[in-house]
C-alpha cells in the first residue's frame, strides 16, 4: 500500500474520529442542558426528596375525603382494593363534571387496551390522558400566574428592608408555605402627640391570619390596610389594638377567620417597650445577661369578640438584649418523623448565641430549622422578626 494512500486513510480516520467525538460531545451537551432545564438544576437526591414530599402531601389531601372508619372492617386484598377505589373516587370528584366523564371514558380505553385486541385502544388511552393532563396543566399555569401576581402585591405590603434607627438592629424573614401567605410583619416609626423627634416611637408588628394561601393572604392585606390607617393617628397602643379588633370582628365571618398578632411599641428615647399579644405565640426576650423573659400580656386573637379587653405589658430594653417575635410556623415546623422544632430548640439556639447582629441570629435560626426539617414539605408559613438593642 503506497505511503501516500496510507497517510490519506489515517487522516480520514482521524477526521472521522474527531467528527464523531464532537458529535457525541454536542449530543451529551444537549442532553445535559435539557436535563438542567427539566430538573431546574437540582440533584437526583433533591428531586426524589421533593417528589416524595409532594406525594405524601397529595395523599394527605385526597385521603381526607375517605371514610376510614368504614374501611377498618375490610381485610387483606379487599381492603387494598377498597382504599385504591376510594382514592380514585376522591381524585375524580376534584375534577369538573365534564372532566370526570372524560376521565371515566379514558379508563374504559385503558381497560380495552389491556384486554382488547389491537393497538388503537392504547393510542386512544394515551391521547386521552395527555389531553386531560393538558387541560389540568392549563388551569394550573393560569392559577400560578395569578398567584405570582398576588405574591408581588404581598411583597409591596411588607417592608423590604428594616428601618434604620440608631441603636436598634432589626431583621425579619418570611417563608410562605404556598405562593402567598397569611403572615404579616412590619416595623416603622409612628405618629405621636408630640412633634419632637426625641419622643418617636417604633411600632413592631407580627401577625398570623388563620389558614393559608389565598383566603389568608386577602385577610392579611385588609389587616395591613387597617393597621396603617389606625397607626397614622397618634393614639395609644391599647386603642390601636382595640380598633383593629373591632375591624377584624366585622370581617371575620363570625370568628372563623381570626388573626393572632403581637404589637410592641418602643420609646426610642427611654427604650421602654409596651406590648400586647393578641393570642400570639409569646415572643422571647433574651437578656444580655443570658436570662429569658416571655411577653405574654394581651388577650384574645383579633376577630373573635368585638368587646374583648387587652392587657398591656411593659419592659425596658438594655444594650445587648434580643427580642425574638415569631409565628407558630417556626416552632411547629415538622421533620419527616412528625416531630416539631419546638420552643426548646429555639431557646437553646438563642442561649448559645453570642453578641452578634440581628441578621446573623436570624440566619442561624433559619439554618437550624432547615437542618431539623430536612426535605419535609413546609406545612405552615414561617415568619420571624428579631430586634436587637445596641
Same domain, 117 and 188: no
| pLDDT over 90 at 247, yes or no | no
Same domain, 146 and 170: no
Percentages (nearest 5) of helix, strand, coil residues in the chain:
50, 20, 30
Same domain, 366 and 228: yes
Q: The CATH number of the domain where 274 resides is what?
A: 3.60.40.10
- pLDDT score for 78: 76
Interatomic CA distance for residues 86 and 110, integer angstroms: 19
Q: Which domain holds residue 22?
A: 1-38
Same domain, 287 and 302: yes
Instruction: Dump pLDDT digits (tens) for 155-176.
Output: 778 888 898 999 899 999 998 8
Q: To 5 degrees, how large is the angle CA 257–CA 385–CA 316? A: 110
- pLDDT score for 144: 75
Same domain, 180 and 145: no
Same domain, 52 and 13: no
**CA-wise closest residue to 327 among 281, 389, 294, 266:** 281
**CA-wise closest residue to 303 among 197, 222, 389, 192:** 222
- pLDDT score for 142: 76
- pLDDT score for 265: 95
Domain end marker among 121, 153, 185: 153
Cell of 82: 377498597
Same domain, 280 and 343: yes
Question: How many helices (DSSP H) and strands (DSSP E) are in the chain?
Answer: 11, 11
Same domain, 141 and 165: no
Same domain, 92 and 187: no
Same domain, 370 and 352: yes
Q: How many domains does one find in the chain?
A: 3
- The residue that leads in pLDDT, 377 or 371, is 371
Same domain, 376 and 349: yes
Interatomic CA distance for residues 306 and 204, integer angstroms: 23
- pLDDT score for 182: 82
State the pTM of this model. Answer: 0.72
Mean pLDDT score of the chain, rounded to an integer? 82
Same domain, 200 and 241: yes
Pairing of strands 201-209, 183-190: antiparallel
Which of 33-37, 105-109, 226-230 ranks highest by mean pLDDT? 226-230
- Mean pLDDT across 106-127: 78
Amino acid at each position: 500500500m503506497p505511503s501516500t494512500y496510507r497517510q490519506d486513510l489515517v487522516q480520514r480516520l482521524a477526521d472521522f474520529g474527531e467528527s464523531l467525538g464532537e458529535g457525541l460531545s454536542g449530543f451529551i451537551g444537549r442532553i445535559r442542558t435539557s436535563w438542567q432545564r427539566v430538573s431546574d438544576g437540582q440533584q437526583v437526591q433533591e428531586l426524589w426528596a421533593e417528589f416524595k414530599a409532594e406525594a405524601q402531601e397529595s395523599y394527605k389531601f385526597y385521603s381526607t375525603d375517605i371514610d376510614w372508619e368504614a374501611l377498618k372492617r375490610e381485610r387483606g386484598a379487599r381492603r387494598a382494593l377498597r382504599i385504591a377505589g376510594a382514592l380514585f373516587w376522591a381524585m375524580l370528584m376534584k375534577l369538573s363534571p365534564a372532566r370526570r366523564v372524560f376521565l371515566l371514558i379514558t379508563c374504559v380505553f385503558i381497560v380495552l387496551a389491556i384486554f382488547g385486541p389491537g393497538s388503537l385502544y392504547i393510542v386512544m388511552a394515551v391521547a386521552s390522558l395527555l389531553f386531560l393532563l393538558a387541560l389540568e396543566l392549563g388551569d394550573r399555569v393560569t392559577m400560578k400566574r395569578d398567584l405570582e401576581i398576588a405574591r408581588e402585591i404581598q411583597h409591596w405590603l411588607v417592608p423590604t428592608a428594616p428601618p434604620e434607627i440608631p441603636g436598634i438592629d432589626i431583621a425579619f424573614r418570611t417563608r410562605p408555605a404556598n405562593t402567598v401567605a397569611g403572615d404579616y410583619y412590619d416595623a416603622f416609626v409612628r405618629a405621636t402627640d408630640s412633634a419632637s423627634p426625641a419622643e418617636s416611637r417604633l411600632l413592631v408588628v407580627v401577625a398570623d391570619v388563620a389558614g393559608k394561601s389565598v383566603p389568608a393572604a386577602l385577610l392579611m392585606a385588609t389587616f395591613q390596610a387597617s393597621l396603617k390607617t389606625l397607626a397614622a393617628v397618634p393614639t395609644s397602643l391599647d386603642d390601636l389594638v382595640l380598633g383593629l379588633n373591632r375591624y377584624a370582628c366585622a370581617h371575620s365571618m363570625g370568628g372563623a377567620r381570626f388573626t393572632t398578632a403581637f404589637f410592641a411599641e418602643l420609646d426610642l428615647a427611654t427604650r421602654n417597650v409596651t406590648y400586647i399579644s393578641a393570642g400570639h405565640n409569646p415572643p422571647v426576650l433574651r437578656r444580655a445577661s443570658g436570662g429569658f423573659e416571655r411577653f405574654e400580656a394581651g388577650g384574645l386573637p383579633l376577630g373573635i369578640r368585638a368587646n374583648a379587653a387587652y392587657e398591656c405589658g411593659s419592659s425596658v430594653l438594655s444594650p445587648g438584649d434580643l427580642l425574638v417575635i415569631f409565628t407558630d410556623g417556626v416552632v411547629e415546623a415538622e421533620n419527616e418523623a412528625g416531630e416539631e422544632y419546638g420552643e426548646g430548640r429555639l431557646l437553646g439556639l438563642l442561649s448559645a448565641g453570642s453578641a452578634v447582629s440581628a441578621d446573623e441570629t436570624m440566619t442561624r435560626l433559619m439554618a437550624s430549622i432547615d437542618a431539623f426539617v430536612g426535605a419535609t414539605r413546609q406545612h405552615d408559613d414561617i415568619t420571624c422578626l428579631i430586634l436587637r438593642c445596641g
